[in-house]
Structure 1
């Protein structure tokens, strides 16, 4: 399906009928990684819609002039508004977790229940770079800042390493390999990471929202992390409560890595359905 919004027409995967759950993916990933979770949510009576991030589908490759977190959060708000006049449930994984957290912080009227996976809430990320071991795990983030080096090293070998390291025992799905074979997608993925430091990739029209976006969202959130995550380890969530509203919860999923919706879909679906109820 395609979701027309005032900002962009967003290609999305969709299944089921019932209350809508919007799922936002991360890097290096694809909306199809939500399929096992979506199957279980659909069986429980939900409609699951998983949009492609701006710039991550062939029809939007040329629509990423800005790549900052506020741009992606504004996209999510526009998608929710286009899908329903009522607040919608939102699940975000990896980069999608930041999208969901900032959406809830800036536009809480657009969301009903929020679940984030594999990244602490934005308001609790201020100290994550204080840990040298975490800086080492984030080697790719620093490497992506180097022109030409990043473009040459963001390849199938790196994808394999990241997936196997982040979710031990998990192989890169063919749909991810096929998607990242396109140089345009790789270039746009790098843009998202370069926007962490390059202010020219920030939309100046959204700049006033930055003051709100990194504060705790005013609504409770369920934060899920994999016990075996090799990208952001469980100890990184020790202070997550400081970035969450009262009533929020942080659950560490045993036996799950970074891609916990693929590693442990039954457990993640059970936690998600309980929270959405």
Structure 2
């Protein structure tokens, strides 16, 4: 019961400047938007960093993990499952969650395997960063919490996971919000060389392929993560306290192993688990996503990501793409929480 996804390695969009207020109000340029699509009432603007805490973290056994997760909103509300990326954590949604909870949503924000208080139930379980394994974790979490379906939304690793869930388990996904769009790929695709400019953006993937990279990430985890934050969101002026709240999640004993395995697996340098082979075969065909979807991109995303025109055809249900202006980078939910939360509300109306 698992899936795999591989991030297509492409060049990145250059940063542009506009107004942060417009981004927070959710004003965006829509590409191939469905005419007449219902939208939720507009959310109020919120300054990023307004909130700094969650309710106490909860734990539940789900699949091969004991999953740590934050929850907000009424227990009987429609569910929004929010999935973070690397090297980030659930604090990417610290300003998003109150907005959705105020609209009656039960908001679930799990630590992905290798992060925060999420741990393996057995020391013998392979520390597998294969994206299909992470997607299987989220289906198991929904089962453990008795959640039949949810709006699934995320960025970076979280967007890849959400894409896989929507592609292979559409009955579990009422809607999808995916930053940087369709990120399903395969090991075969990951082995294909790209132009030098594009390869340059993946310097850390090549670094992680080496023993030196493994040792370096283990020794300098926090410094490495901070550098990625700066490169991926060059116009996001986060403070030390914001970074440290998330960096605590990287103290997880499996964080380094999961991270390194994920990037080595993508290049075919590490094996996955046989139980995911059938799912990998399905994902390698680049299956279409039929659930209602909103994809998003910030104008200052410094991380590798595909152009929206490259993936629009992969979404065959109701679909809209939103470009955010105002210097919004890779960590879009934390940098533009109102716009991200608005997309969750809007896609659920469809």
Write out per-residue CA displacement over residues 144-197 of structure 1, whole angstroms, 9 at most, x where no aligned residue: 111133331453332222111111233362122233356642232222212213
Alignment pair present for 1:91 and 2:153: yes
**Between Structure 1 and Structure 2, how many residues are aligned?**
276
Tell which structure's C-alpha radius of gyration is larger. 2
Cα distance between partner residues in 2 of 1:65 and 1:183: 11
Corresponding residue number in structure 2 for 1:45: 104
**Separation in structure 1 between the aligned mates of residue 148 and residue 162 of structure 2, nearest angstrom:** 16
Cα shift at 1:203: 1.4
In 2, distance between residues paired with 1:59 and 1:49? 14
Distance 1:210 1:37, change over 3 A: same
**Partner of residue 281 from structure 2, selected from 200, 211, 229:** 211
Task: Tell me the distance in 1 between the aligned counterparts of 2:140 and 2:164.
Answer: 13
Q: Which moved more, 1:103-112 or 1:124-133?
A: 124-133
Question: Equivalent residues in 2 for 1:4-19 (5 A)?
Answer: 4-17=61-74, 18-19=77-78
CA distance in structure 2 between the aligned counterparts of 1:70 and 1:169, rounded to whole angstroms: 32
The residue number in structure 2 matching 1:134 is: 198
Structure 1 pair 100–7 and aligned structure 2 pair: CA distance change class (3 A): same
Per the alignment, residue 56 of structure 1 pairs with 115
The runs of 5 or more residues in structure 2 that have no matched partner are 1-57
| Distance (Å, rounded) in 2 between the aligned partners of 1:59 and 1:25 | 13
* Matched position secondary structure for 2:95: helix
**Greater relative contact order, per chain length (Cα 8 Å cut-off, separation 6+):** 2
Distance 2:338 2:60 in 1: 29
**What does residue 143 of structure 2 align with?**
81
After TM superposition, the score normalised by the length of structure 2 is: 0.71
**1:257 match:** 329
Which of 223, 226, 230 is the matching residue for 1:160? Answer: 226
Across the aligned residues of Structure 1 and Structure 2, the Cα RMSD in angstroms comes to 2.6
- Contact 2:72-2:107 within 8 A present in 1 as well: yes
Cα separation, 2, equivalents of 1:22 and 1:209: 22
**Structure 1 spans left out of the alignment, 5+ residues:** none
2:86 is aligned, of 7, 16, 27, to 27
Structure 2 CA distance for aligned equivalents of residues 135 and 238 of structure 1: 20
Q: Name the CA shift for 1:64/1:40 in 2 (closer, same or farther; >3 Å).
A: farther
Instruction: Give the TM-score of the pair, scaled to structure 1.
Output: 0.88
SS in 1 for 2:266: coil
Structure having the higher helix fraction is: 1
Change (3 A) 1:38 1:131: farther
Alpha-carbon contact 1:81-1:110 (below 8 Å) kept: no
Cα separation, 2, equivalents of 1:21 and 1:73: 16
